[in-house]
Structure 1
Amino acid sequence: MDRLDAIQWNADGLVPVIAQDASDGRVLMMAWMNREALEATLARGEAVYWSRSRQALWHKGETSGQVQVVRQLALDCDGDTLLLAVDQRGVACHTGRRSCFYRVLDGDEWKDAEPVVTDPQTLYGSTHHD
């Protein structure tokens, strides 16, 4: 049996993936992988996701240089979610923040709880993000 057969792919052939900082456990982002993206991730040792908007593979950091070096891959108990422990080079979020989870609910509104570390314009030029 292929090692990827243990994964419960959804109807679109995708599995959600949580990227977590290997050094401190901080959740950095959530993305999707298909089988090809996971195979590319395993081969490269760097995170490769499936972009649902572009319908294409997305090597995290290919444009910005903010790559995720994979240290460990874990599968949850139901087999339907992956956890990547990564060494994040630079920032994970296209907004220039360390994590995509920078907004916190304060009463009845969402507030930014994390500063921009790197100007997104510097990373991507116009509005492009990887």
Structure 2
Amino acid sequence: MTDATTAERELGSAFLPRFDAQGLLIAIAVDSQTRAILMVAYMDAEALAKTRETGLAHFHSRSRGRLWLKGETSGHFLRVEEILVDCDQDALQLVVRPEGPACHTGAPSCFYRRLEGDRLTRMPG
């Protein structure tokens, strides 16, 4: 298959994901009700295909070097309601319904601290 042109990727209607040199796309999980960003992870072609097939968010674990189903050990799955694609198709927004906390720390979102000067302050919630 030939590479898509910039115009095809940015203005066309075909889904032509642009994976980086490591074969990854950025995936941002957003709560479908609150629109809060829950987490940021990476997807390879396998994770993207499994997500589309099952409706459950799958990612590529860079630390484990393998496919990772979010919630496979915690039971805190992310049910994908919609996938939004950015302008040059190298990042995805997964609009999800979380089944429990999204962060492995138990926080509802991985973004639970605010930078204040040189310190991190935990936000309520």
TM bucket (normalised to shorter chain) is 0.7 to 0.9
Moved over 3 A (4+): none
Counterparts of 2:48 and 2:14, CA distance in 1: 9
The residue correspondences of 1:24-63 to structure 2 (distance < 5 A) are 24-63=34-73
Equivalence for 1:108? 118
TM-score (norm 1): 0.83
* Matched residues, number: 114
Question: Gapped runs of 5+ residues in structure 1?
Answer: 116-130
The residue correspondences of 1:1-130 to structure 2 (distance < 5 A) are 6-115=16-125
The letter of the residue matching 2:118 is: D
The letter of the residue matching 1:27 is: I
Q: State the Cα distance separating 1:4 from its structure 2 match.
A: 8.2
Q: Secondary structure at the match of 1:69?
A: strand
Equivalence for 2:10? none
The answer to whether the 8 A contact 1:104-1:113 is kept is yes
Counterparts of 2:85 and 2:37, CA distance in 1: 16
TM-score (norm 2): 0.86
Q: State the Cα distance separating 1:111 from its structure 2 match.
A: 1.1
The answer to whether the 8 A contact 1:97-1:114 is kept is no
Question: Gapped runs of 5+ residues in structure 2?
Answer: 2-12
Q: State the Cα distance separating 1:114 from its structure 2 match.
A: 3.6
Counterparts of 1:26 and 1:65, CA distance in 2: 20
Query: What CA deviation, in whole Å up to 9, does each residue of 1:6-53 have, x standing for no partner?
Result: 111000000010000001100000000000000000111000000000
Equivalence for 2:4? none
Counterparts of 1:82 and 1:44, CA distance in 2: 17
RMSD, matched Cα: 1.7
The letter of the residue matching 1:67 is: F
Identity %: 45
Counterparts of 1:4 and 1:16, CA distance in 2: 19
